[in-house]
Amino acid sequence: MRTLLLLLAAGCASAQGPQPALRIDRDDSQGRVVIADGDHEIVTWQYGQQFAIPHWFPLKSPSGKDLVAEHPDPYPHHRALWLADKVQLEDGPVVDFYHCFQNQVDKNDASKGYRHFIRQRAMPRCEARGDRATLAATLQWLVGGEQPVLDEERTMVVTALGGGEALIDLSWTWTANHGAVKFHSDWVHYAWPYLRMHPQFSVERGGVLVDDVGRRGQAGTNAQYANWMDYSNTVDGVTEGVAVLLPQDGTWRKWLTRDYGTFGPRRADALSGTKFTLAKGETLSGSARLYVHKGDAAAADVAGRYRDYVKGSR
């Protein structure tokens, strides 16, 4: 009987599988932090000075495929998974951090760097404990390489779900510490955040873009209000995808979606597609949860994951 019980217990442990143990590989010389579950890279934070703006790339599917593209064609200013906007400090120049290529010192040679850029100033937290990893970064948006426009605190919390699936919680706060900051972006050209899907996951290549009420594709989802949006496809016989879930904070938000692979939420209508100003000392904050999953939105139960999100659970 004792032997039988031990075998049954071993069988249960085997069925559950090993618990995820996240690993962080930080390389400040390259400006990169990799968060991995064993040998499986989940997501990498890129903050090297060769880039105009920090961003996340790669973001891997559970089977290890690239979900997003860092230098896509068309629109090479897209940066995989990123945050950016078009802003002006007091009566200074209007600087478009979103269209980062406009800020190159030499428009024909990116290796010469950028006139305006976002830089990481510090990383006060970078740790992994069990199935969860946390990274916190302090950033500045700089005009002419010297004048700060915005100070930013950005946080990413990665929770491994096993089998390559993961939750990625992003949050950010922009603060106008250096004077009043006016936002000039239209409702399309800013990232809050944006994802640029790898072409292999796009609707144009058979992928499925669907929101929380079942609308599909760019025609059904663009400029519509939704609580979450999911992009998935079957590549090499494996169906996988990523969903973006928005917090329930009393504000409905529209989405910008494209069949070629871009999608992301907008800010509240009063702060999207219209100019507005942060007075000196004021802040603007946002957050979102990404769910990297196997299967399509239905098989991955994105709706259930959203319910867990708004309840404050995993």
pLDDT score recorded for residue 252: 92
Residue 2 lies in a domain: no
Q: What's the pLDDT score for residue 280?
A: 98
Please write the tens of the pLDDT for every residue from 123-162: 999 999 999 999 999 999 999 999 999 999 999 999 999 9
Domain carrying residue 67: 20-310
Residue 226 sits in a domain of what CATH number?
Answer: 2.70.98
The reported pLDDT for the residue numbered 9 is 36
Residue 18: predicted pLDDT? 67
pLDDT given at position 3: 40
Q: What is the SS3 assignment for 308?
A: helix
| Residue 119 maps to a domain | yes
The verdict on residue 5 lying in a domain is: no
Separation of alpha carbons 74 and 157, rounded Å? 31
Note the pLDDT of residue 107.
Answer: 85
In a domain, 6, yes or no: no
Q: Alpha carbon of 54 to those of 48, 117, 152, 213, 312: distances in Å?
A: 7, 9, 12, 33, 28
Q: Do the domain assignments include residue 3?
A: no
In the β-sheet with 208-211, what is the strand arrangement from edge to edge? Answer: 117-129, 132-143, 147-162, 165-175, 283-294, 238-245, 228-235, 208-211
| pLDDT for 17 | 56
Can you list the positions of beta strands (E) in 18-146? Answer: 22-27, 32-37, 40-46, 55-59, 81-84, 86-89, 94-96, 117-129, 132-143
Is 130 among the domain residues?
yes
DSSP β-bridge partners for residue 256: 264
Total domains in the chain come to: 1
In a domain, 261, yes or no: yes
pLDDT by residue, tens only, the chain of 314 residues: 344 333 333 333 333 456 789 999 999 999 999 999 999 999 999 999 999 999 999 999 999 999 999 988 888 899 999 999 999 999 999 999 999 988 999 988 888 999 999 999 999 999 999 999 999 999 999 999 999 999 999 999 999 999 999 999 999 999 999 999 999 999 999 999 999 999 999 999 999 999 999 999 999 999 999 999 999 999 999 999 999 999 998 999 999 999 999 999 999 999 999 999 999 999 999 999 999 999 999 999 999 999 999 998 77
Task: Please check whether residue 15 lies inside any domain of the structure.
Answer: no
Q: Burial of 232 by CB count in 10 Å (0-12 exposed, 13-18 middle, 19+ buried)?
A: buried
* Residue 212 and residue 221 in contact, taking contact as beta carbons nearer than 8 Å: no
Are 139 and 154 a contacting pair, CB within 8 Å?
yes
pLDDT at 277: 98
